[in-house]
């Protein structure tokens, strides 16, 4: 496999996969390395839940790096001015304008690393991820360990009171006490609802 990066100009790298697959860890690793190389690196993330550590990206294993929480994708353009490498965590939570914003950063020469869930808890494409995966120079799809069988997990299981969440629940539930697990396709469960509920 040949994976080369442009020698001139900016580019987009996308890191995707289910929860617990190491996306935030990988984002932090890449941005740290950029800093070590003497580049100016910045991580931004969506401001979705203020109770969380708003000034940092924190991985499930405890890796941590300073980050700026933003409400709207447009804010990133000004924030990222002067940075060589820009990491964006939880990119699936941003509005569709994130695509144009990333395009603009890349066009002005930045390296953008976007990390996020490729699928929602139903297994459907999440937010702007399909568009970003399509436009990226480099794509990595990480796997977690299935909480059920220990196999390679590519999906995220939402549990409500320990039971599979209904398929017609909201995609994003800020502050909910739902639990999430990484699951492989055959262990992934969805409480069935009318098929029409899946048409968004
Ligand atoms: P993501 O951003 O994709 O949710 P993180 O980078 O926050 O993932 O966390 C990855 C870390 O989570 C792993 O290095 C590991 O220590 C831990 N972890 C906990 N549960 C799992 C699991 N089921 N599969 C893989 N890693 C897990
Ligand atoms: Mg993460
Ligand atoms: Zn499994």
Residue at 165 is within a domain? no
**Domain tally for the chain?**
1
Residue at 87 is within a domain? yes
Q: Is 147 in the pocket of ligand 1 (CB under 6 A)?
A: yes
Check: pTM over 0.85? Answer yes or no.
yes
Segment 23-48, tens digit of pLDDT: 999 999 999 999 999 999 999 999 98
Residue at 185 is within a domain? no
**Sign of the torsion formed by the C-alpha atoms of 181, 187, 191 and 192:** positive
Residue at 79 is within a domain? yes
What's the CATH number where 126 sits? 3.40.50.300
Distance CA 64, CA 24 (A): 9
| The ligand 1 atom nearest the CA atom of 19 | 4
Which ligand has the nearest atom to the CA of 152?
Answer: 3
Residue at 183 is within a domain? no
- Pocket test residue of 59, 118, 182 for ligand 1, highest count of atoms within 8 A of CB: 59
Residue at 116 is within a domain? yes
Residue at 94 is within a domain? yes
Spacing, Cα 191 to ligand 3 middle (Å): 17
Is residue 7 part of the annotated active site? The answer reads no
Distance CA 50, CA 186 (A): 35
Q: Is 114 in the pocket of ligand 1 (CB under 6 A)?
A: no
Q: Is 156 in the pocket of ligand 1 (CB under 6 A)?
A: no
Q: Is 92 in the pocket of ligand 1 (CB under 6 A)?
A: no
Spacing, Cα 116 to ligand 2 middle (Å): 7
The gap from C-alpha 36 to its chain's centroid, in whole angstroms, comes to 23
pLDDT of 90 higher than 80: yes
Confidence of residue 193 (pLDDT cuts 50, 70, 90): low
pLDDT confidence of residue 20: 97
Distance CA 83, CA 77 (A): 10
Residue at 171 is within a domain? no
pLDDT confidence of residue 183: 98
| Residue 37: domain span | 11-142
Give mean pLDDT, residues 143-150. 98
């Amino acid at each position: 496999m040949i994976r080369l990066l442009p020698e001139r100009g900016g580019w987009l790298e996308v890191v995707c996969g289910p929860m617990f697959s190491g996306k935030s860890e990988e984002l932090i690793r890449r941005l740290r390395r950029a800093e070590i190389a003497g580049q100016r690196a910045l991580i931004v993330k969506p401001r979705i839940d203020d109770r969380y550590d708003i000034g940092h990206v924190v991985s499930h294993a405890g890796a941590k790096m300073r980050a700026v929480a933003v409400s709207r994708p447009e804010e990133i353009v000004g924030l990222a001015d002067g940075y060589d490498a820009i990491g964006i965590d939880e990119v699936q939570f941003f509005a569709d304008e994130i695509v144009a914003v990333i395009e603009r950063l890349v066009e002005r020469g930045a390296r953008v690393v976007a990390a996020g869930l490729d699928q929602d808890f139903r297994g459907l494409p999440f937010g702007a991820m399909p568009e970003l995966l399509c436009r990226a120079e480099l794509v990595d799809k990480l796997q977690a360990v299935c909480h059920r069988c220990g196999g390679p997990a590519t999906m995220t299981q939402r549990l409500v009171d320990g039971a599979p969440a209904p398929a017609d629940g909201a995609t994003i539930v800020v502050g909910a006490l739902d639990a999430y697990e990484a699951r492989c396709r055959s262990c992934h469960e969805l409480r069935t609802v009318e098929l029409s509920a899946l048409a968004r």
